[in-house]
Amino acid sequence: MIDPFTASIILIAFLAFGGLSIGLAMICGASVYLILAGYDPSIASETLLQGLFHSYTLLAIPLFILAADIMNVGSLADRLLRFSQALVGRFKGGLGHVNVFSSLIFSGMSGSAVADAVGMGKIIINMMTKDGKYTPSYAAAITAASATIGPIIPPSIPMVLYALVSDQSVGFLFAAGLAPGLLMGVMLMVMNSIVAHRRGFPVDDGTPLREMPRTTLQAIPALMLPVILLGGIYGGVTTPTEAAAVAAFYALIISVVLYRSVSLRQFYSTLLGSARSTATVGILIAGALTFQYVVTRENVPDALAAFLGQYDLSPTGFLIAINIMFLLLGCILEAGAILLIIVPIFIPAAQALGIDLVHFGVIVVVNSMLGLITPPYGLLLFIVSSITKRPLLEISRDILPFLLALIGALVIITFVPGFVLWLPRLLGYQG
């Protein structure tokens, strides 16, 4: 008779590669495991409900999604883009710098790489390809690469998911992502400068100095959103979930009242879109919570720790192996699935080796984001390909320099833990 756990894994793989969402595939696999192992199948429902009801932090996810969608449908993205162009658009390869810089700002509001690529990405790609200044494939490549910063700089939906499985503070995880996110932005801008000089990209028209005050003033209400969001969390005024609610409400108020850029019909469509996105994430979380019960029953984390113990891996060796594995997994699995299914298996081993779990969380989230732009199956590559109508192979060639730059940033993030943890420690983290 086939082993129940093996049958569960085979079924999940078969359903997932057959086109079923990974969340539903995990629920089916866990149910089959319970039946074959002789357990009450209702345990799956009980585990799912307990996991959802006891995780107040999960409420932050739909609120961050709503805030990002409101900013996309309103004029906040346009104003932030004009502000970015005024600051960095006058340099060689200027619109490439604007692309990265606008992602740095927008990521402090959305917490989603896909929201960044779809929202800000459409606008900046049109700007870059207008008049033939940049090739569509290059515009698509740097847009996809800069979108990976979104879930690193707080707020971050993947960080919330990691907090769920690791029992770490969302606030400290957000703080730990700030310096790595800025480093990724700097690395992308350096690479953009190198490529711009090699390929002879033009110097774009900069914003006249006399218009700088007006452009900045128009962007201030939008720029205040991350200040309010993070100030509330680190000032002890709000929890991350409450801060997400404040962010969504603030985005709505300035879009409707101040900028008057969102109609009632647009707001209704935004709510529907946010609900669909939330449902997609919710099914994934539901499947992961159910499958985690199976993993726990099979003592997979303990078995893995014992297996690694045979090879006497050092913390450095473990982190190298983790980076290679998660980069490869990122090519075929979405970030949420990696964080909710794979990462919990390795957390006990990381703890046993003395690796700080906040630092470890940043490492796995960055790896998961790089997987979104790793050819040939990176999700963001498909998104920007659909926006530009350019072949995936063409975009993949242009994204390789940016992928190498981000891997360079990942090396620093992995092996210089003090760089990641200095801000959380400044805010009281004891790890």
DSSP secondary structure, 205-258, as one string: PPPPGGGHHHHHHHHHHHHHHHHHHHHHHHTTSS-HHHHHHHHHHHHHHIIIII
pLDDT attached to residue 24 = 83
* Model confidence at 315: pLDDT above 80: yes
Q: Which pTM does this prediction carry? A: 0.79
CB 380 within 8 A of CB 396: no
Nearest to 176 by CA among 431, 430, 421: 421
pLDDT attached to residue 363 = 95
* Model confidence at 76: pLDDT above 60: yes
CB atoms within 10 A of CB 407: 16
pLDDT tens digits along 251-288:
888 888 777 777 788 888 888 887 887 777 777 777 77
CB 222 within 8 A of CB 80: yes
Q: Which of 46-55, 83-92, 262-271, 393-402: highest mean pLDDT?
A: 393-402
Q: How far is CA 428 from CA 7, 175, 233, 273, 312, in A?
A: 46, 11, 13, 38, 33
pLDDT attached to residue 147 = 86
* Model confidence at 15: pLDDT above 70: yes
At 91 the three-state DSSP class reads coil
| Least confident span in 13-22, 108-117, 278-287, 295-304 | 108-117
pLDDT tens digits along 367-380:
988 988 887 667 78
Mean pLDDT of 357-366: 94
